[in-house]
Amino acid sequence: MAKSFLFEIVTPERLFYYGKAELVIVKTTTGEEGFMAGHSWACKLLGTGELWFREEGRKEYRLAAISGGFIDVREQVLIYTDSAEWPDEIDIGRAKEAGRRELEWLEQHHIGGVSAEEVEAHRLKAKRADIRQKVAAGGVRQRH
């Protein structure tokens, strides 16, 4: 049996997850990274993406969509994120519509007239809508 650690995911609205995990795979701002028990201490910024983790004693991974925040890795692993959703909490129709609206906005404003910060905010919203759709459909990574 693999070693486990305390794993928590906290959003501004709720304690999203609390339990024991053996492995966490998350999208950081520098790429996808995995963390196991005994990992060296780390604190990393999170991007918008899929979060995969394997609970203690389980073979299958759990999947969630997260957006922003950071991961703090010590004896336990804590994720503080702006938002987190399980696949069954995601309304695919709503996510598709949000993505369509953001891409439409970006097409209309690609020439200029708006700040770089505003463009980046809409890009992030489009990415979040895309990730939410992928997570609701089972994620890009294959479940093991």
Cβ atoms of 89 and 33 within 8 Å: the answer is: no
Residue 133 has pLDDT above 80, yes or no: yes
Domain ranges across the chain: 5-87, 90-136
Q: Candidates 2.40.50.140, 3.30.470.20, 3.20.20.10, 2.60.15.10; correct CATH number of 5-87? A: 2.60.15.10
Q: How many CB atoms lie within 10 A of CB 38?
A: 8
- Which pLDDT band, with edges at 50, 70 and 90, does 107 fall under? confident
If DSSP codes are grouped into helix, strand and coil, which group holds residue 84? strand
- Which pLDDT band, with edges at 50, 70 and 90, does 1 fall under? low
Predicted TM-score (pTM) of this structure? 0.86
Which residue do the tokens 């693999």 mark? 2
